[in-house]
């Protein structure tokens, strides 16, 4: 069966520090991968999605970036965090984008 | 532009029936999803509609009218554990799911 792993679960980082969040999927090949952010009291905002290795689509211009170095690995990064980057970050995967997503357990990031 | 609207909050009592509405205006449509999200947790899949009509799954049902850009999620025999946020999301070809802001449902005894 397919599983998705996301870590860390919680993170407190100072303003201006770098960020790296990792997501891996097991039990499937060539999944579509997604990064969403959910700010307090707000909906899920799509940040990046990827349909294959090295293919990244950005939905919202900001100081975040994403990479897909391997088929089942998706990384969200920042060189310098802002206070506004605080939120709940969710990684998700789907086989074709039309049959629902399975989400990872999320990372709660607090920038102080 | 793309817009998905759903009520911010709803309240109901145990054993009751509640209907959560969702209207959407998107540039493409490949189906509509409902997700449940408990506080501090990841969303979990509830239902998927791509054709007009009602899909029933236990206590939960979901309805879609593509011509009206409208869907609803119907929860029957409410239980305390149904207190959560319910997210409406639209699928479009070639891109990712677009989510509404979610409806927070509070079930009281």
A2-20: pLDDT as tens digits: 889 999 999 999 999 999 9
Cis check for the bond before B105: say yes or no (omega within 30 of 0): no
Query: DSSP secondary-structure letter at B14?
Result: T
Mean pLDDT for each 10-residue chunk of chain B (109 residues)? 91 98 92 94 93 95 97 98 96 84 96
Are residues A92 and A44 in contact, defined by beta-carbon separation less than 8 angstroms? no
Quote the pLDDT of residue B93: 75
A42 and chain B in contact, CB less than 8 A: yes
Strand, coil or helix: what is A73?
Answer: strand
CB atoms within 10 A of CB B4: 22
Q: Is the CB of A46 less than 8 angstroms away from the CB of B102?
A: no
d(CA B42, nearest CA chain A) in Å: 5
Rounded to whole angstroms, how far apart are CA atoms A30 and A49? 13
3-state helix, strand, coil in chain A (%, to 5): 5, 60, 40
């Amino acid at each position: 069966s397919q599983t998705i792993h996301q870590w860390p679960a919680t993170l407190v980082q100072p303003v201006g520090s770098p960020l790296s969040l990792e997501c891996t999927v097991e039990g499937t090949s060539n999944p579509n991968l997604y990064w969403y952010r959910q700010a307090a009291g707000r909906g899920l905002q799509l940040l990046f999605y990827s349909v294959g290795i090295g293919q990244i689509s950005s939905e919202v211009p900001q100081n975040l970036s994403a990479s897909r170095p391997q088929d089942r690995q998706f990384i969200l990064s920042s060189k310098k965090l802002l206070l506004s980057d605080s939120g709940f970050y969710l990684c998700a995967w789907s086989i074709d984008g039309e049959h629902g997503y399975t989400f990872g357990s999320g990372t709660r990031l607090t920038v102080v | 532009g793309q817009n998905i609207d759903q009520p911010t909050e709803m309240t109901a009592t145990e054993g009751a029936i509640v209907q959560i509405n969702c209207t959407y205006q998107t540039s493409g449509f490949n189906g509509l999803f409902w997700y449940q999200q408990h506080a501090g947790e990841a969303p979990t899949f509830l239902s998927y509609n791509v054709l007009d009509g009602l899909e029933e799954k236990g206590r939960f049902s979901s309805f879609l009218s593509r011509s009206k850009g409208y869907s609803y999620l119907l929860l029957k025999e409410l239980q305390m554990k149904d207190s959560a946020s319910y997210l409406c999301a639209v699928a479009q070809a070639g891109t990712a799911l677009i989510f509404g802001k979610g409806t927070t449902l509070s079930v009281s005894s």
